[in-house]
Amino acid sequence: MKNRLQTLKNEILEKINEIKSEADLKEIELKYFSRKGEINQIMHSLKDLDLELRKEFGVLANQTKKELEEAFTKAKNSILNNNDGEILDVTLPGVNMKRGHLHPITIIQKEVEDLFSSLGFSIISGPELESDYFNFTALNIPPFHPARDMQDTFYVTSAKDDNQEELDLVMRTHTSPVQIRAMRKFGAPLKAIIPGRCFRNEATDARHEHTFYQFEGLMVGEDINFANLKSLLEIVGKKIFGPNTKLRMRPKFYPFVEPGNNGEYTCFLCSGKGCKVCKQTGWLEIVGAGLIHPNVLRAGGIDPEKYSGLAFGFGLTRLAMLKYGVNDVRLFNSGDLKFLQQF
Q: Shortest Cβ distance from residue 252 to ligand DAH (Å)?
A: 8
Say if residues 227 and 264 touch (Cβ distance below 8 Å). Answer: no
Segment (H or E) for 18: none
Q: Is 301 helix (H, G, I), strand (E, B) or coil?
A: coil
What is the chain's length? 343
Q: Shortest Cβ distance from residue 174 to ligand DAH (Å)?
A: 3
Say if residues 181 and 134 touch (Cβ distance below 8 Å). Answer: yes
Q: Shortest Cβ distance from residue 179 to ligand DAH (Å)?
A: 7
Q: Which residues are near ligand DAH by CB under 6 A?
A: 174, 176, 216, 254, 257, 260, 288-290, 311-313
Residue 324 to residue 335: CA distance in whole angstroms: 17
Neighbouring-strand partners of residue 261? 251, 289
Core vs surface per residue 295-306: b (16+ CB within 10 A) or e: bbbebbebeeee
Q: Shortest Cβ distance from residue 260 to ligand DAH (Å)?
A: 6
In 3D space, the residue among 307, 311, 121 whose CA is nearest the CA of residue 222 turns out to be 307
Q: At what angle do helices 104-118 and 226-241 cross, to 10 degrees?
A: 130
Closer CB to ligand DAH, 25 or 292, in the complex: 292
Q: Shortest Cβ distance from residue 304 to ligand DAH (Å)?
A: 15
Residue 1 to residue 61: CA distance in whole angstroms: 10
- Taken in order 270, 319, 266, 151, the sign of the CA dihedral is positive
Q: Shortest Cβ distance from residue 235 to ligand DAH (Å)?
A: 17
Phi, psi of 303 (to 5 degrees): -75, 115
Q: Is 170 exposed, middle or buried (0-12, 13-18, 19+ CB in 10 A)?
A: buried
Say if residues 159 and 167 touch (Cβ distance below 8 Å). Answer: yes
Q: Shortest Cβ distance from residue 313 to ligand DAH (Å)?
A: 3
Q: Shortest Cβ distance from residue 131 to ligand DAH (Å)?
A: 16
> CB atoms < 10 A from the CB of 258, how many?
15
Residue 69 to residue 339: CA distance in whole angstroms: 57
Closer CB to ligand DAH, 290 or 300, in the complex: 290
